[in-house]
Amino acid sequence: MSSEEIASGIPIDIDLEALSLLVEFKQLWDEAEEIWNANQDEPSFHGYVSADYRAVYESLNVLQGHAKTFLEWGSGLGVVSIMASRMGFNAYGIEAEGELVEYSRVLARAYQSNAQFAVGNLIPDTFAWDASRDDEVSRTLTDPVSGYEELNLNLKDFDLVYAYPWPEERPLYENMMKGFGRPGSLFLSYDAKRGIDLVRIQPR
């Protein structure tokens, strides 16, 4: 039955596929919130705060067709990577906390996602810190081993990188993209103050 027939002759055009995906995503967001509610006092959850998933979903929707490979820096419970994979991106997540990665893999299976997750550091191994360039770090963990090796990929392999950094750490994240991302790739970020931000990485 077409959407027009469903609407009994009223000429509206609904993308039923996108709508059913959104219904599934809503369940995923609720399930992630339940996991957070049950575990928020666990040490591995202390650095985890969820983004506004609806806002990130809308951004990915706009970026479909403009990027294929997707990396979530600090993937937490994996929700954004799972959405990205279901929307057609080749999606990966790097997360320092192994327990969160375990939850991500369980959620990925439950939501028919082939997103892949690695436990490790999002900061490229050879990144050189430079305080004069606003490379401030407050909540990002600096000690885990690289997450890129487990994925057998490096930052230049990604068309689109997404992160939810602490607001004062955003310049650091953009500097990492400028130094190690592929020129022309996209950096999508979210934070509670600025909302969604998107920059294209220019050649140096």
Ligand X SMILES: C[S@@+](CC[C@H](N)C(=O)[O-])C[C@H]1O[C@@H](n2cnc3c(N)ncnc32)[C@H](O)[C@@H]1O
Which spans of this chain sit near ligand X (rule: CB under 6 A)? Answer: 47-51, 72, 74-76, 80, 94-97, 100, 121-123, 140-141, 144, 164
The distance of closest approach from Cβ of residue 200 to ligand X in the complex, given in angstroms and rounded to an integer, is 20
What residue ranges in the chain does DSSP mark as E strands? 69-73, 90-95, 116-119, 160-163, 186-191, 195-200
| Residue among 21 and 137 whose Cβ is closer to ligand X | 137
Distance (Å, rounded) from C-alpha 186 to C-alpha 142? Answer: 23
Nearer to ligand X, 113 or 121 (CB): 121
What's the min distance (Å) between Cβ of 3 and ligand X? 32
User: Least CB distance from residue 97 to ligand X, whole Å?
Assistant: 5
Complex with ligand X: residue 90 or 162, whichever CB lies closer: 162
The C-alpha atoms of residue 18 and residue 78 are separated, in whole angstroms, by 20
- 122 vs 186 by CB, closer to ligand X: 122
Minimum CB separation from ligand X for residue 161, in Å?
A: 11
Sign of CA dihedral 102, 96, 34, 116: negative
- What's the first-to-final CA gap in the chain, in angstroms? 53
